[in-house]
Structure formats: C-alpha cells, structure tokens
Amino acid sequence: MAIKIALAGNPNCGKTTLFNSLTGSNQYVGNWPGVTVEKKEGKLKGHDDVVIQDLPGIYSLSPYTLEEVVARGYLVNEKPDAILNIIDGTNIERNLYLTTQLIELGIPVVMAVNMIDLVRKNGDKIDLKKLSNELGCEAVEISALKNEGSEKAAELAVAAAKKGKAGELPHVFTGSVEHAIAHIEESIQGKVDGRFLRWYAVKLFERDDKVQAELNLNKELLDHIDAHITDCEKEMDDDAESIITNQRYAYINGVVDKAVKKKPRTENLTVSDKVDQFVTNRILALPIFALIMWLMYAIAMGTSVADGGIGIGTFATDWTNDVLFGEIVPNALGGLLESIGVAGWLYGLIMDGIVAGVGAVLGFVPQMLVLFFLLSILEDVGYMARVAFIMDRIFRRFGLSGKSFIPILVGTGCGVPGVMASRTIENERDRRMTIMTTCFIPCGAKMPIIGLIAGALFGGSSWVATSAYFIGFAAIIISGIILKKTKLFAGDPAPFVMELPAYHVPAWGNVLRATWERGWSFIKRAGTVILAATIILWFLQGFGFENGAFTMVEDQDNSILAIVASAISWIFIPQGFGNWRATVASISGLIAKENVVGTFGVLYHYADELSDNGDEIWPEVAASFTALSAYSFMIFNLLCAPCFAAMGAIKREMNNGKWTAIAIGYMCLFAYCASLVVYQIGGLITGEVSFNIFTIVAIAIIAFTIYLLFRPNKYEGVNEVSFDSKKAVASK
Amino acid sequence: MPLTMTKAGDTVTIRKITGKDEVRQHLAELGFVVGETVTVVNEISGNLILQVKEARIALDKTLAMRIIVA
C-alpha cells in the first residue's frame, strides 16, 4: 500500500514550490471530481511508495470557497496517512489557525515552517521545540524557495505516516466551550470514526450544515446538542462560530508568545509595502498598469524583432508559420508522401487539410507561450493580485469583480486559458458571468480577421483593430450590466477580499511550469478537436456533386460545404453578408478563428499559402463586401461563439451542459444583434441600405437593450437576504 | 467608526464586525477578529489594503464599512 501524504497550507505559503521540489516532474495534474479545482498529485522523489497529494491553498476547513470544500472533503473522506502542513513563518499566527483545525482531524501532522530565511532576516526566532510540544506534532524549518530542509520535512511526514498515530490534542478550547464540545463528543461517540471525534464535535458546535447533513443525526440528539450550544452562546454572549474562532486565536496567541520571539520592527513598512505605495497608488496605479500591459503585448505580439520591434513572440510565430509549417514540414512530409506514392486524395487530406489546418493553429503557440510566460511572471511576483484589486472598483460598476479581469487579460492571448483562469473566482455567479464574457475580447487568433478586413476595405487603418478591442470591452460591459439584472445572475458581486502576497523574485521553476501547462492545454486541443474538425472541413469543402456524381470537386462552389452554406446564408442577409462564402468562413471560424482568412483564400481559389492578414486576396474580398458589411462581418466573427477549443474549455469550467448552452447561445445572439444593428443603422446613415423591415428590428433591438441596461434591478440586495435565511434555517 | 473612515498609515483596533454571513467567518479566518490591530497600508477610492497579522489583505468598500474600529 502506498503512503498518502497531503500537503496543506494557506494560499501563498509556498506550497506549490515545495510540491514541485518534492515531486519533480513526477506529477499528475487533473481535476477534483465534480468541480473545476485543480488536483495535483505526485510521487515523492526517491520513494516510489509515497504519493504526495497537493491540496488547494486554504485558510480554514470551513466551507467558504470551493477550494476549502474540496480540501476538507479529501481530508475527511480519503483519510491520508499524514498531513504535511506548510506554515508561512513570517505570518505564523494566521497560518497556525489552519493548523489547529488540521490537528483536530486526528491524522498525524508535521508542520513545515516555511520562509525561514525571511524569518531570520527579520531577526525573529521560532523555537521549533516549543512549537512542537505545544501543538503535539513535529515541526521543522524549511525554505522551499531555496530548497532548504524540504527533504527533511518530507521524511518526517513519511515517518509520521508509518507510525500512524497522531499526537495528543492540544487544549485549544477552554471553560464552557470545552465543556459543551466534550458533551457533543459523548453524544456522537460510536457514530463517527473515532479519530475524527473532535473534528466532528467542533463542527457540530459551529452548526456546520454540511456536517449536520452528513451525520444524519436524529432530531432528539440534534436538539440535545443545540441546547448545549445555546447555553454556551448565552454565557459567552456571542454566536458559536465566533466563539470557536476567538478561542482558536486566543490559544494561538498563547503558543506564539511562548515559541516565537519577534524582533521589534524598526521600520513599519516592508519593501513590499513601499512598492505597493507606487503600484496601487490612486493616481499612478492605472498608468503603471497600462505601461506593463503595453510592454507585455509589445513583447508577445508587437512588431517582430526582425523588423526592429521588441516582439519576440511575433518573431517566433512568423518563423513557425513561414519556415516550419511553410517550408520544412510541407517539404519533408510532401517528399515522404510522394516517395511512398500515396493516393492523391490522401495527399490532399494530409497536406492541405491537416498540415495547413493544424499548422495554422500551432503557429500561434510561440506567441502564446511568450504571453503566458510574461503573465506567469506577473502572477508569481504577486502583481496579478494587485491588478485584481486596482480593477475591482472599475469592474464592480458593471457587475463583475476585479478578479474577472485576469481571465479577460489572459483571453487576449487565447480564450482557452482565459476561460480556465476564471477558476480563481470563488463566487459561482461571478465565475459563470466571467466565463460567458471572456471570449468577447479579441484573442490572438482573431487578429488575422481584423487584419483582413482592415487591409481589404479600410486601407489598413489602425482604428479597425482599436475599435475591435473597444467593441470587445463594450460587449463585456453591456453584458455585465444586462445579465446582472436577470434572475440567473441576481445579487451583488461577492465582496472583494483577497490576500496580496508580498512581492518576491519569481521562482522560475513555477513560472515555466505554469507557462507550459497553459500552452500545453492549447496544443493538446490542436492535436485533437482541431485536428478532427480540420479533417471534416477538408472533406466538406473538397467533396460534392459534380457532373451528377458524388466526387472530389474541381470547383469549390460545388462542394457540400458550399451547398449547405448557400442554404443557410440567408440568415446573414440582415447583417449584409448573406453570401455563402462569408457563411462558410464564419463556420470555419468555429474551428479556429484564424481559419476565416484561410477559408477565404480557398474560396477565392488562391492557390498558394496566404500571409497572415491575407493581403493576396484583398481585391476579391473588397469586391464582395462593402466597408459596412465587412465591418459587420468582423463584429459577428469577433463576438459569436468562440472556436471549438474555447467552447470545450467553457464546457469544462461550467461543468454543466445547460450553462454551456446558455453561454454559447448568448454569445451568438449578442453577435447577431450587434452586427445587425451596425449594418442596418450604419447603412441607413450612409445610404447603403434603405429603410426596411430590418431597420425596425434594429431599432427594436436598440430600444430593448437600452431597457435592459437601465431598468431597475429588482434583485438588488437579494444576496444578503438569502445568506441570512440560509443561516436561519441551519440554526433551527 | 467604520474602517472606511481611516486613512493610509493609521493603525486601529477592531471593535466589532457587523453582519452575520459566511463572509464574516472568512474575514475571521484571514485574521479580522475583534481586538486585532490593523494598519491601513493604502487606499483607493474607498477600497483598502490592510495589514493584519503580518499579511496584506485587500478589501472593498462594502466590506470595510462593516468593520468597526477605534
């Protein structure tokens, strides 16, 4: 039997760094069943029989966040053999709060006091022996970042697991509280696993509804327990949950007084605080943020280094597109296929279908990796938490929280990791809303569409791209306000409360790992969903009825895709692009947005590889669109359902079929209405379209949108009431 | 007075936290309990960055309103 050791600790205590250094590359990353909280486990280096389970960062075992629910469920149900509790030594009081709860579980605990180098630098002293004696479990000092003491901590945990016996419980609670808990213990004895007796008793004392439901106690017993709790509450003149919290802190204070010697701080502000006075300054915060963003995008997506810019990402992507998938792969693979003499159709499928299709998608990988690398650095040093804080006051005005900003930021690179980044938002409503709106922002793959339209019809004017971002943001803002007033998203955004970790030098191992995990999730899909979709699309546009027989078509206009698209292209008449080519291009955009440009290339019979913005086919595009219909086409493609990969991500993060359908349906509807309004009203002004039935539809849409935006929110304040009523039910 | 009335640099003691919901419990777990001292590190239009038990916690205005300090 393998030994299971759970890693538990507060967020930002260095848990990830320790986990990475203990397990190396020997990791398995997945999801906790039923929720989208990341689950990581790995084998301890050099010990094949020891599995380390990384639990999400938590402040306590009360179920406030999804992470806490998951961690608590794992500890109680899976019963690991030992818990390695990582404690941030620079904030020992707050961290021990979780420790006192972990100890109550009756599982052997080893405390690893992390960031010991910083503790020493501050001139503080932690007496591990006293700490260990007080809490009844072993303690060891480590510095995960400098890989000091990590192995020793793991060995102690293994030894504790083998011994299998937890130390004696410390006397956390006193007086009538201890008295009441002891009574509860007595009444539930035999009904729960003996090891967990104290844990269940304390949770029952707190009137934890999850535990009450789990134990399924009869009413008589519950009333008996409640009588004890109520007596105690009366005596202490406080509610049960607060009584427990206060006694825990009081106990910890006592322990810290004995075991920790703090050197009086000569300076009140740390380096981190000084940085924060600039970075979160009320005047400078936004300019600094804008500058960092500009720099990040210039490096990832700006003018290539080859052309005198600082765009490392662009340089790498250009190389991948033009050299790797433009020459090396096609030449090598083409030569190979010819030499073994494959059939013409198979050659076509592999070269034109798969290599061109998947290659186009993989071409974005270098750019994306650079962007994710920079984002991971910002996350690791602690800047992202500040960004959420700075943006919160702005986002709150339209119903989103500051934490929604990070997914949108990541989404400018690629919607897939953008949607995945929404995981950090605790409140389910806020998270769903963020998932629904993140894909409105133009991602990297939508840039070629913008380039095509700007180049072909607007003389390459840069305002087209600027307006695309503006429209994306407007779509997010409008959606935020409208959705917040519907029953689905009723209630205020969850109050913003977030720990800001102290700034520190990035841990490169963590940064590279995070970059790779995000990039890999994209590459993996390029190899599966996108590959399959590419093959289907290749088939649909390569085969059809010609001369009365089903065959590989000479003229794309006869393909199945053309027939189907022609049949449904009337849908886009109100948007001004009701022709089959634009319809096919939009459909192919579902596979990957940059496909839109490539599809136009195929449909206009352009034989060679197109450049990124498709400048070879600008004349043809200009001929079949007007400036207005092209702009409306662009808006539709920017806002409608994202590519399959992003839809897959939405489905996984929503973890619910109905919500996935709502999200994608909403995006399509929004895109359809927005492009209709732009074409009809714009056309009326420029004289391109005359007054018709759709003009009325457009006016109706505008009027209805204004109504949705400005109607009073009848669900205002609903949030608070529901919280109270829930508690009231629980306490009865 | 509510915490919103303090300014950057002030060090105050928590007297009371109003409201009774999960958020209050979460605040307690982050170190916001009666009797604890907090220092205001920074303030942007009502939203605060606070030092409590050696950690920096960002709070929005609505939450800061609920923490009564002296």
In angstroms, the Cα distances linking A15 to A55, A84, A86, A328, A480 are 9, 10, 7, 43, 35
Alpha carbon of A42: minimum distance to chain B alpha carbons (Å): 29
Which among B56, B46, B50 is positioned nearest to B11, based on CA atoms?
A: B50
- How far apart CA A84 and CA A102 sit, in angstroms, is 10
Task: Please check whether residues A48 and A87 belong to one and the same domain.
Answer: yes
The mean per-residue pLDDT over the stretch B16-21 comes to: 78
Size of interface A-B (CB pairs under 8 A): 118
How many Å separate Cα B6 from the centre of its chain?
Answer: 10
Which positions of chain A have pLDDT values less than 70? 1, 33-36, 266-268, 360-361, 492-493, 525-526, 529-530, 605-612, 716-732
pLDDT score, position A132? 93
Contact A200, A229 (CB under 8 A): no
Give the up-direction half-sphere exposure of residue B68: CA atoms within 13 A in the CB hemisphere: 6
DSSP state of A356: H
Nearest CB partner across the interface for B63, out of A239, A269, A495: A495
pLDDT score, position A268? 65
Domain total of chain B:
1
Task: Please check whether residues A99 and A48 belong to one and the same domain.
Answer: yes
A572 membership: H or E segment, kind and range: none
Q: Which chain B residues touch A245 with a CB distance below 8 Å?
A: 25, 28-29, 33
Is A255 labelled as part of a ligand binding site?
A: no
Is A24 labelled as part of a ligand binding site?
A: yes
Task: Please check whether residues A102 and A189 belong to one and the same domain.
Answer: no
- How far apart CA A408 and CA B30 sit, in angstroms, is 27
Task: Please check whether residues A35 and A72 belong to one and the same domain.
Answer: yes
Task: Please check whether residues A12 and A116 belong to one and the same domain.
Answer: yes
pLDDT score, position A732? 30
How many CB atoms within 10 Å of residue B40?
19
User: What is the sign of the dihedral through the CA atoms of A626, A686, A468 and A711?
Assistant: negative
Nearest-CA residue of chain A relative to B48?
A389
SS3 A228: helix
Tokens 């380096």 found at: A271
How many Å separate Cα A22 from the centre of its chain?
Answer: 25
Q: Do A64 and B22 touch (CB under 8 A)?
A: yes
Alpha carbon of B28: minimum distance to chain A alpha carbons (Å): 7
**Tokens describing residue A621:** 């595009």
* Beta-strand runs (E) in A329-419: none
pLDDT score, position A724? 33
Which among A250, A190, A199, A180 is positioned nearest to A217, based on CA atoms?
A: A190
- How far apart CA A106 and CA A199 sit, in angstroms, is 8
Which among A296, A278, A298 is positioned nearest to A288, based on CA atoms?
A: A278
- How far apart CA A237 and CA B69 sit, in angstroms, is 20
Listed in sequence order, the residues at least 6 apart from A536 whose beta carbon sits closer than 8 Å to its beta carbon are: none
Q: Do B39 and A64 touch (CB under 8 A)?
A: no
pLDDT score, position A238? 85
Residue type, A253: N
Q: Is B30 on the interface with A (CB under 8 A)?
A: yes
φ and ψ at residue A717, rounded to 5 degrees: 80, 0
pTM: 0.79
How many Å separate Cα A613 from the centre of its chain?
Answer: 30
Domain total of chain A:
2
Helix axes A175-188, A219-236, angle to 10 degrees: 170
- How far apart CA A157 and CA A143 sit, in angstroms, is 16
User: Testing the interface with B: which of A13, A96, A499 to mutate, by most B Cβ within 10 A?
Assistant: A499
Q: Which chain B residues touch A723 with a CB distance below 8 Å?
A: 21-22
Alpha carbon of B25: minimum distance to chain A alpha carbons (Å): 8
How many Å separate Cα A439 from the centre of its chain?
Answer: 13
Task: Please check whether residues A77 and A203 belong to one and the same domain.
Answer: no
Q: Do A93 and B54 touch (CB under 8 A)?
A: yes
pLDDT digits (tens, 9 = 90+) for A30-82: 777 666 677 888 999 888 899 999 998 899 988 777 788 889 989 988 889 99
Does A50 map to a domain?
yes
How many Å separate Cα A623 from the centre of its chain?
Answer: 42
How many CB atoms within 10 Å of residue A57?
21
pLDDT score, position A680? 94
Listed in sequence order, the residues at least 6 apart from A701 whose beta carbon sits closer than 8 Å to its beta carbon are: A673, A676, A677
Task: Please check whether residues A69 and A193 belong to one and the same domain.
Answer: no
**Domain harbouring B9, CATH code:** 2.30.30.90
pLDDT digits (tens, 9 = 90+) for A586-596: 888 887 787 78
Q: Which chain A residues touch B10 with a CB distance below 8 Å?
A: none
A130-156 b/e (C-beta count within 10 Å ≥ 16 → b): ebbbbbebbbbbbbbbeeebbeebbeb
Task: Please check whether residues A73 and A187 belong to one and the same domain.
Answer: no
Q: Which domain does B39 fall in, by range?
A: 3-69
User: What is the sign of the dihedral through the CA atoms of A387, A393, A398 and A403?
Assistant: positive
Task: Please check whether residues A205 and A99 belong to one and the same domain.
Answer: no
Contact A176, A214 (CB under 8 A): no
Nearest CB partner across the interface for B21, out of A60, A281, A724: A724
Which among B1, B68, B47, B25 is positioned nearest to A238, based on CA atoms?
A: B25
Alpha carbon of B66: minimum distance to chain A alpha carbons (Å): 11
**Domain harbouring A89, CATH code:** 3.40.50.300
Task: Please check whether residues A139 and A25 belong to one and the same domain.
Answer: yes
Q: Is B55 on the interface with A (CB under 8 A)?
A: yes
Could you give the angle at the alpha carbon of A527 between the alpha carbons of A525 and A530, nearest 5°? 65
Tokens 């909403």 found at: A666
How many CB atoms within 10 Å of residue A594?
26
Model ipTM? 0.92
Q: Which chain B residues touch A65 with a CB distance below 8 Å?
A: 26
Does A499 map to a domain?
no
**Tokens describing residue A8:** 């538990």
The mean per-residue pLDDT over the stretch B5-27 comes to: 84
Alpha carbon of A91: minimum distance to chain B alpha carbons (Å): 5
Is A114 labelled as part of a ligand binding site?
A: yes
Is A57 labelled as part of a ligand binding site?
A: yes
Contact A411, A404 (CB under 8 A): no
Contact A86, A141 (CB under 8 A): no
Task: Please check whether residues A143 and A209 belong to one and the same domain.
Answer: no
Q: Is B53 on the interface with A (CB under 8 A)?
A: yes
Q: Which domain does A81 fall in, by range?
A: 3-163
Q: Is B56 on the interface with A (CB under 8 A)?
A: yes
Residue type, A124: D
Alpha carbon of B29: minimum distance to chain A alpha carbons (Å): 6
pLDDT digits (tens, 9 = 90+) for A383-414: 988 988 888 888 888 888 888 888 888 888 77
Q: Which chain A residues touch B56 with a CB distance below 8 Å?
A: 272-273, 276, 499-502
φ and ψ at residue A330, rounded to 5 degrees: -60, -40
- How far apart CA A106 and CA A103 sit, in angstroms, is 6
DSSP string, A584-650: HHHHHHTT-TTHHHHHHHHHTT--SPPPTT-GGGHHHHHHH--HHHHHHHHHHHHHSS--HHHHHHH
Contact A55, A8 (CB under 8 A): yes
pLDDT score, position A81? 94
Mark which of A189, A218, A238 sits at the end of a domain. A238
Q: Is B7 on the interface with A (CB under 8 A)?
A: no
User: Testing the interface with A: which of B39, B54, B65, B66 to mutate, by most A Cβ within 10 A?
Assistant: B54
DSSP state of A412: T
Task: Please check whether residues A110 and A215 belong to one and the same domain.
Answer: no
Nearest-CA residue of chain B relative to A723?
B21
* A50-54 sheet: strands from edge to edge: A27-31, A38-43, A50-54, A3-9, A82-88, A109-114, A138-141
Provide the mean pLDDT of chain A: 85
Dihedral, CA atoms, A536, A537, A539, A543, nearest 10 degrees?
140
Does A12 map to a domain?
yes
- How far apart CA A314 and CA A300 sit, in angstroms, is 6
- How far apart CA B21 and CA A45 sit, in angstroms, is 43
